[in-house]
């Protein structure tokens, strides 16, 4: 915004705005000649989405190569924008949260809050108890010491094994780097829990669902923010059923088809 203001693209009641100008909310604000709707912060409703990220999507708003991003299918907002709570790399799938409240997003991501993230991970290689104990105790990565708070074996055969691992911070590729420190390759990685909130089993890949007031306030309380009093979700809305899951799947399929068509036109 500071860059846009210094470029002279913002006006207040018809006069060019300058850095440091203050407003009380009654003025007419325009950016590039287009009027901006101002919403008092206290009137904003904190909204939270749960998104089931597929592999192959980028955690960025736009990709110069035209690849799909996690923001492509999110519902439009009258004001503000969706903020991703952390990131998942392109080869990681699973639970990704979005919110309209930047402070909530920042607190949920910050290491000082120690919010747990749980991942299902399939590894390829020879695993032994000494190796697992090392990962629980901690190893030194290039950006400092790291460890899994909990490791649970979930089965496997041959050299492929599934584990559930828990972290309380979200450093870049931390799960993969921890396993790689033991010369073990990660072949699948899925986030299945954030805090005490599990991924909804019936939410299809590429689908999103908005959380109700109770769940929104769970996350707000988790990071010491005052509770929200309003919600865009109906109070009597039930948990996801098969019919809702099918509707989301149809919507995801239509979006994928539109994205594929757009990519074909771009290549032409």
> Is 267 among the domain residues?
no
The reported pLDDT for the residue numbered 268 is: 64
| Cα 175 to Cα 139: distance, rounded to the nearest angstrom | 12
| Whether 82 and 203 share a structural domain | yes
What amino acid positions are annotated as catalytic residues? 89
Looking up residue 56, the CATH number of its domain turns out to be 3.30.2350.10
- Asked if residue 155 and residue 31 are part of one domain, the reply reads no
**What pLDDT does residue 263 have?**
67
User: What is the rounded distance in angstroms from the CA atom of residue 60 to the CA atom of residue 17?
Assistant: 30
Q: Note whether residue 199 is domain-resident.
A: yes
Which of 144, 139, 149 is closest to 181 using CA atoms? 139
Domain identity same for 9 and 96? no
**Residue 181 belongs to some domain of the structure:** yes
Question: Residues 105, 27: one domain?
Answer: no
Residue 91: what pLDDT? Answer: 95
**Is residue 83 assigned to a domain?**
yes
Classify 20 in phi/psi space as left (phi over 0), alpha (psi -120 to 50) or beta: left
- Mark which of 204, 222, 240 sits at the end of a domain: 222
Residue pLDDT, tens place only, 107-137: 999 999 999 999 999 999 889 999 999 999 9
Q: Which domain holds residue 24?
A: 2-38
Q: What pLDDT sits at residue 252?
A: 80
State the pLDDT at residue 255: 73
Which pLDDT score is estimated for 170?
A: 81
Is 237 domain-assigned?
no
The answer as to whether 80 is a domain residue is yes
Mean pLDDT of 229-249: 75
Q: Are residues 57 and 31 in the same domain?
A: no
- The answer as to whether 140 is a domain residue is yes
- Please report the pLDDT score of residue 80 as a whole number: 84
Mark whether 124 and 177 lie in a shared domain.
Answer: yes
The pLDDT assigned to 21 comes to: 87
Q: Is residue 233 part of a domain?
A: no
What value does the mean pLDDT of the chain take?
A: 89
Cβ(222)–Cβ(194) below 8 Å: no
pLDDT band for 31, please (50, 70, 90 cuts).
very high
Q: How many domains does the chain contain in total? A: 2
Residue 149 scores a pLDDT above 90: yes
């Amino acid at each position: 915004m500071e860059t846009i203001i210094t470029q002279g693209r913002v006006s207040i009641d018809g006069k060019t705005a300058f850095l440091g100008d203050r407003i009380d909310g009654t003025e007419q604000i325009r950016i590039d000649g287009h009027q901006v709707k101002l919403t008092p912060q206290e009137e904003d409703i904190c909204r939270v989405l749960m998104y089931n990220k597929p592999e192959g999507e980028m955690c960025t708003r736009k990709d110069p190569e035209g690849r799909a991003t996690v923001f492509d299918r999110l519902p439009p907002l009258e004001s503000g924008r969706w903020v991703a709570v952390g990131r998942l790399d392109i080869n990681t799938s699973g639970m990704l949260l979005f919110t309209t409240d930047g402070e909530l997003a920042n607190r949920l991501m910050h290491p000082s809050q120690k919010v747990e993230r749980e991942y299902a991970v399939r590894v390829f290689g020879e695993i032994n108890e000494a190796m697992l104990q090392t990962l629980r105790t901690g190893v030194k990565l290039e950006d400092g010491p790291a460890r899994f708070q909990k490791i649970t074996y979930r089965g496997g055969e041959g050299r492929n094994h599934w584990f559930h691992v828990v972290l309380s911070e979200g450093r870049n590729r931390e799960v993969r780097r921890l396993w790689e420190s033991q010369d073990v390759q990660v072949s699948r990685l899925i986030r299945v829990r954030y805090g005490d909130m599990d991924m909804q089993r019936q939410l299809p890949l590429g689908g999103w669902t908005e959380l109700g007031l109770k769940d929104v306030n769970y996350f707000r309380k988790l990071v010491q923010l005052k509770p929200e009093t309003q919600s865009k979700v109906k109070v009597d809305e039930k948990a996801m059923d098969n019919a809702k899951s099918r509707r989301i799947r149809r919507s995801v399929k239509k979006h994928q088809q539109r994205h594929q068509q757009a990519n074909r036109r771009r290549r032409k």
